[in-house]
Amino acid sequence: MDILENDTARPGTLAELLSYLAVAPLLLCLACLLLPAGYSTHELAQRGAIAWGAVLLAATGAVHWGLALAGRLPASALRTAVSALPTVVATAAVLIGGQHGLALLIVGSGLFWLYEHRALGAQLPPAYLGLRRNLSVAVCSLLALMVIATDAAELL
């Protein structure tokens, strides 16, 4: 069965709703940074955003692993390596931390979406690509706002 014949990520599905809810922790972290709380609260919010952004980035690569294992996408050495890169980038962002970690997550999320769209666009369902675009824009935007907010909170 071709992956295009099994388009389960249609607008309005539970999977789409849960996907959008996955950005809620980033909203919560941003809200915590905007509160007039102390340094330790702001630092915890920053670390939380980095951790959750890393989870989201790693999950995008995991989707491709799953599709390859299920035989929905042709497996190749290059595709396997590219599918592993989000986890490597996410780990590096957690280890680097701070604004640099947030910036790395923004770049990693944006580049992986670009890879999906450009290299795999014809092999992935249009509804999936639309959902991923929306989520990538939301995640990158929220992480960018976190960078601005952490700078205002005088965090590195």
In the block, residue with structure tokens 């290059």: 78
Q: What gap in Å lies between CA 130 and CA 9, rounded to an integer?
A: 9
The Cα diameter of the chain in Å comes to 55
What does the pLDDT read at residue 1?
38
Q: 113 or 78: whose pLDDT is higher?
A: 113
DSSP state of 12: T
pTM of the model: 0.89
Scanning the structure block, which residue is given the tokens 């607008």? 11
**pLDDT tens sequence across 58-107:** 999 999 888 888 888 887 888 888 899 999 999 999 999 999 999 999 99
